[in-house]
C-alpha cells in the first residue's frame, strides 16, 4: 500500500518539475505570450490550492480509496489532454483540471497512510518515506524533464500518463478496501465548500497575478477573497456538519506546522525560481545543465527515510523541524552574495544545505500536522497541510518575482540582473527565518515522542498479554 501511495506522490512531484523545465519550449511551439505561459503554471496551482480542503473533506466523507482511485484517473486523462494540446487555452484548462485532481488525490493518499499505520514510530517512518519520495520526484523531474523536452515537450505530459496508469493498476490490487464511511447526520456542507474554495481560489489568483497586474486589481481580488473567507468562517460556526470543524485549530502543533509549512514552501520555491533565472539568464547555462546543478537538492530523497527517522527518535519532531528551518536560513544566507562569475563549487554548499534542510523539515511537519487528529478528520488535516504548502509556493513565487522586477534596472545588463537577484533572495531568507521563529514555540513540547509513546503503550501491552494468558487458562 505504501509503495502505491509513494508512487502517486512521486507522480505529483515529477509532473510539476518536468513542466517547469519545458516552459520555454512550450511557448516557442504554441506561440504563447509571457502572460499566457505563466498561466500554464498558475492554473495548476489555483486548482490544487483552491480545492485542497474540499478534497481532504471528501476523502473523509466518501471514502479515501474511492476518492484516490477516481481522481488518479482524472489526473491521467487530463495530463494526456495537455500532451495533445494545440493551443494555449486547451493546455491551461488541462493544467487546471489536473491541479484539481491532485487536490483530491493527494490528501486522500496521505489520509490512507495516517489511518492505515498506527500512530507512533510505524506511522512516522511511513510518512518520512512518503515525504522523501515526493522530494525525490521533484528532483528527478528536473533532470527527466530536461531530457524529455530535448526530444519533444509533449513527452512531459505523456510520461505521467504511463506512470499514472501503472499506479492505478497497482492501487486497485494493493490498496485494501474499507467500509463505506458512516455519513449519518453528516450532510455535505455545500455553502462551506463553495465559500472556502472560492476564497482560496481568489487569494491564490491574487498572489499569482500580483507581479503581472496593477495594485488596484490585486487589492480588489484580495478583498473579495477575504470577504468569502469571512463568510466561510461564519458558515462553519453555524453548520451542523461543517466542512472544516473550526475546533481543529485549537491544536497548537497543527497551527504551527501549517504556518511553518507555508513559509518554508514559499522560501523553497522562491529560491529555486531565482536560482534557475540566475543560471540560465545570467550565466547562460542550458536546461539540462541547470537541472543537473539543482539535482543536489534532491539529497533529501535519500536522507528523509534514513537519517531523519533517527533524529526524530532521538530529539523529537519539534527540534528536528527547527533544525531544518535554521539550515534553510543558512542555505539562503550562503547564496545571498552570489556573483556573476561564481563557480559551481561556490554554489554547492548552499544547495546541499538546502537539501538537508528539506529532509529535516518536510517529513516531520507532515507528522506534526496530522498527529493526534481523530481518524475521521485525517483527510481534513492532510488537506490543510497541502493547502499551506501550495499557497506558500504561490506566495513565494509571486513575491520573489515582484521584488526581482522592481529591483532590476532597465537595460538588462549583468549588473542589473544581479541586483534584482540579490534583492529577491532576501525573500526566502526572511520567510525561512519567520518559519524558524514560529517552530521555536514547539520546542517546549515533549522531545522524545517515540520514547514517550513506547512508555505509554507498554502498560497497555502488558495488560493485554495478561488478559490473553487468563483467557487461555480459562479455556484449558
More confident call, 395 vs 457: 395
Q: pLDDT per residue over 392-401, tens digit each? A: 887 887 788 8
Q: Report helix, strand and coil shares of the chain as percent, to nearest 5.
A: 85, 0, 15
* Per-residue pLDDT band at 337 (split at 50, 70, 90): very high
Taking residue 234's Cβ as centre, other Cβ atoms within 10 Å add up to 12
pLDDT of residue 424: 92
Instruction: Report how far residue 69's alpha carbon sits from residue 124's, in angstroms, rounded to the nearest whole number.
Output: 24
Does residue 197 fall inside a structural domain?
A: no
More confident call, 40 vs 327: 327
List the Cα angle 440/111/97 in 5-degree steps. Answer: 100
More confident call, 474 vs 161: 161
Does residue 233 fall inside a structural domain?
A: no
In the predicted structure, residue 330 carries a pLDDT above the cut 60: yes
Please compute the mean of the pLDDT values over residues 210-239 and round it to a whole number. Answer: 87
Please compute the mean of the pLDDT values over residues 220-238 and round it to a whole number. Answer: 91
Please compute the mean of the pLDDT values over residues 197-201 and round it to a whole number. Answer: 82
Does residue 476 fall inside a structural domain?
A: no
Q: Which of 22-31, 105-114, 208-217 is modeled with the greatest confidence?
A: 105-114
* Per-residue pLDDT band at 469 (split at 50, 70, 90): very low
CATH code of 261's domain = 1.20.1250.20
In the predicted structure, residue 253 carries a pLDDT above the cut 80: yes
pLDDT of residue 182: 64
pLDDT of residue 187: 67
Q: How many domains does the chain have?
A: 1
In the predicted structure, residue 471 carries a pLDDT above the cut 70: no
In the predicted structure, residue 193 carries a pLDDT above the cut 60: yes
Q: pLDDT per residue over 78-117, tens digit each? A: 999 999 989 888 999 999 999 999 989 988 888 888 888 8
Does residue 214 fall inside a structural domain?
A: no
Please compute the mean of the pLDDT values over residues 336-354 and round it to a whole number. Answer: 93
Cα 18 to its chain centre, rounded Å, is 16
Query: Which cell numbers in the block locate residue 34?
Result: 509571457
Query: Which cell numbers in the block locate residue 445?
Result: 513540547
pLDDT of residue 412: 67
In the predicted structure, residue 389 carries a pLDDT above the cut 50: yes
Alpha helices by DSSP H, listed for 239-343, are: 252-277, 287-294, 300-303, 307-315, 317-335
Residue count of the chain:
476
Phi, psi for residue 318 in degrees, rounded to 5: -60, -45
Query: Which cell numbers in the block locate residue 138?
Result: 521533484
Residues 99, 76 contacting (CB under 8 angstroms): no
In the predicted structure, residue 467 carries a pLDDT above the cut 70: no
DSSP assignment letter at 348: H
* Per-residue pLDDT band at 183 (split at 50, 70, 90): low
Domain that holds residue 440: 2-176+243-451
Does residue 284 fall inside a structural domain?
A: yes
113-138 burial string, b = 16+ CB within 10 Å, else e?
bbbbbebbbebbbbbbbbbbbbbbbb
Query: pLDDT > 90: what percent of the chain?
Result: 29
Please compute the mean of the pLDDT values over residues 2-11 and round it to a whole number. Answer: 89
DSSP assignment of 353-374, as one string? HHHHHHHHHHHHHHHHHHTT--
In the predicted structure, residue 317 carries a pLDDT above the cut 60: yes
337-352 burial string, b = 16+ CB within 10 Å, else e?
ebeeeeeeeebeebbe
In the predicted structure, residue 310 carries a pLDDT above the cut 70: yes
Least confident residue range of 249-263, 322-336, 389-403: 389-403
Helix axes 2-30, 121-151, angle to 10 degrees: 30
Reported as half-sphere exposure (CB side, CA atoms, 13 A), residue 318 has a value of 17
- Tell the burial category of 447 from Cβ atoms under 10 Å away from its Cβ (0-12, 13-18, 19+): middle
Does residue 201 fall inside a structural domain?
A: no
Does residue 199 fall inside a structural domain?
A: no
Q: What is the pTM of this model?
A: 0.78
Q: Tell me the average pLDDT of the chain.
A: 82
Element (H, E) at 398: helix 378-407
Does residue 217 fall inside a structural domain?
A: no
Amino acid at each position: 500500500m505504501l509503495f502505491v501511495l509513494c508512487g502517486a506522490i512521486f507522480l505529483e512531484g515529477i509532473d510539476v518539475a518536468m513542466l517547469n523545465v519545458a516552459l520555454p519550449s512550450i511557448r516557442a511551439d504554441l506561440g504563447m505570450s509571457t502572460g499566457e505561459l505563466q498561466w500554464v503554471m498558475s492554473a495548476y496551482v489555483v486548482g490544487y490550492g483552491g480545492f485542497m480542503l474540499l478534497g481532504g473533506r471528501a476523502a473523509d466523507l466518501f471514502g479515501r480509496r474511492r476518492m484516490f482511485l477516481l481522481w488518479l484517473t482524472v489526473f491521467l486523462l487530463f495530463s494526456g489532454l495537455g500532451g495533445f494540446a494545440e493551443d494555449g487555452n486547451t493546455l491551461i484548462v488541462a493544467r487546471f483540471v489536473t491541479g484539481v485532481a491532485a487536490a483530491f488525490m493527494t490528501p486522500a493518499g496521505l489520509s490512507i497512510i495516517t489511518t492505515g499505520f498506527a500512530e507512533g514510530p510505524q506511522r512516522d517512518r511511513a510518512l518520512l518515506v512518503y515525504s522523501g519520495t515526493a522530494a525525490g520526484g521533484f528532483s528527478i523531474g528536473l533532470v527527466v524533464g530536461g531530457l524529455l523536452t530535448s526530444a519533444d515537450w509533449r513527452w512531459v505530459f505523456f510520461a505521467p500518463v504511463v506512470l499514472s496508469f501503472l499506479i492505478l493498476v497497482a492501487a486497485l490490487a494493493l490498496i485494501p478496501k474499507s467500509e463505506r464511511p458512516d455519513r449519518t447526520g453528516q450532510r455535505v456542507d455545500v455553502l462551506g465548500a463553495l465559500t472556502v474554495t472560492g476564497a482560496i481560489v481568489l487569494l491564490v489568483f491574487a498572489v499569482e497575478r500580483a507581479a503581472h497586474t496593477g495594485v488596484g486589481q490585486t487589492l480588489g481580488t484580495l478583498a473579495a477573497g477575504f470577504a468569502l473567507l469571512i463568510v466561510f468562517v461564519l458558515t462553519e460556526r453555524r453548520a451542523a456538519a461543517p466542512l472544516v470543524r473550526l475546533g481543529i485549530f485549537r491544536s497548537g502543533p497543527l497551527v504551527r506546522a501549517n504556518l511553518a509549512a507555508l513559509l518554508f514552501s514559499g522560501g523553497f520555491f522562491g529560491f529555486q525560481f531565482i536560482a534557475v533565472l540566475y543560471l540560465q539568464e545570467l550565466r547562460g547555462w542550458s536546461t539540462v545543465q541547470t537541472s543537473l546543478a539543482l539535482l543536489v537538492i534532491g539529497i533529501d530523497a535519500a536522507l528523509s527515510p534514513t537519517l531523519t527517522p533517527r533524529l526524530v527518535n532521538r530529539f523529537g519532531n519539534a527540534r528536528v523541524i527547527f533544525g531544518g528551518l535554521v539550515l534553510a536560513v543558512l542555505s539562503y544566507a550562503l547564496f545571498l552574495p552570489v556573483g556573476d562569475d561564481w563557480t559551481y563549487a561556490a554554489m554547492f554548499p548552499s544547495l546541499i544545505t538546502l537539501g538537508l534542510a528539506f529532509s529535516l523539515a518536510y517529513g516531520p511537519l507532515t507528522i506534526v500536522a496530522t498527529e493526534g487528529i481523530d481518524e475521521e478528520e485525517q483527510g481534513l488535516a492532510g488537506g490543510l497541510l497541502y493547502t499551506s504548502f501550495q499557497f506558500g509556493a504561490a506566495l513565494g513565487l509571486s513575491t520573489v518575482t515582484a521584488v526581482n522586477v522592481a529591483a532590476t534596472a532597465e537595460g538588462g545588463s549583468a549588473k542589473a540582473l544581479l541586483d534584482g537577484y540579490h534583492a529577491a533572495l532576501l525573500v526566502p531568507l526572511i520567510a525561512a527565518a519567520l518559519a524558524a521563529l514560529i517552530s521555536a514555540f514547539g520546542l517546549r513540547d515533549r522531545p522524545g515522542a517515540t520514547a514517550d509513546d513506547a512508555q505509554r503503550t507498554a502498560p497497555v501491552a502488558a495488560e493485554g498479554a495478561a488478559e490473553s494468558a487468563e483467557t487461555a487458562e480459562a479455556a484449558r
